[in-house]
Amino acid sequence: MRGILLAALGAALMSATGCTAAMNLLAGEPLSNPEGTQIVQVPGIDGQFEWSGTQASVQGRTTIVARTQEQWENLWQLTGTPAPGPLPRDWMGIGVFLGMRQTAGYGVVIETITEQVTTDRQFIEQGLPSGRELVVSYGERSPPPGAMAAQVLTSPFVIRIVRRDDSQVRFVQAR
């Protein structure tokens, strides 16, 4: 399927930009316009920022932050699949695993990622820095009440890459 998509992309690029630009893109080289200036490629991993599934090997609720390549690979080992590519420079991975569920129909989504700065007056008066953290809000999707769901063990997960931030990360279940 991926080969078909690449072939279609190549054909579209050849007709739109000419053979050389399409071949350069398929070879992994950055695109350039007729003036020779480089066109910025889509960030992420193959243009993707988020992955999800239902068959992780995690038994209980787990949240993980991966800032290094080794942590990124370890994060993906929990899904039972290889990482989709190397962790991009200046990015980090965030993973939320719900743990084992008894039926199909469960899922997890990352709803928001916000920066929270705590300024405690006593800390500031003592010359201590304010606290800063990233808050990852996630939600669990359950099968609707009364819905027929396959009686199969699942372990839903979601992984997202975001710009690297060395602040503490706090996970909060929103729903």
Regarding pTM above 0.85, the answer is no
Domain locations in the chain as residue ranges: 1-41, 45-173
Residue 31 pLDDT class (50, 70, 90 cuts): very low
pLDDT in tens, 67-104: 999 999 999 999 999 999 999 999 999 999 999 999 99
At 117, the pLDDT band (50, 70, 90 cuts) reads confident
What secondary structure does DSSP assign to 123-161, as a single string? HHHTTPPPEEEEEEEEEEE-PPTT-------BB-EEEEE
CA atoms within 13 A on the CB side of 65: 18
| DSSP reduced 3-state for 30 | coil
Query: What phi, psi does 124 have (nearest 5°)?
Result: -65, -40
The Cα 130–Cα 167 span in angstroms is 12
Least confidently predicted of 25-29, 57-61, 117-121, 136-140: 25-29
Crossing angle for the helix pair 2-17 and 19-26, to the nearest 10 degrees: 150
Position 52 pLDDT exceeds 70? yes
Q: What is the identity of the amino acid at 109?
A: V
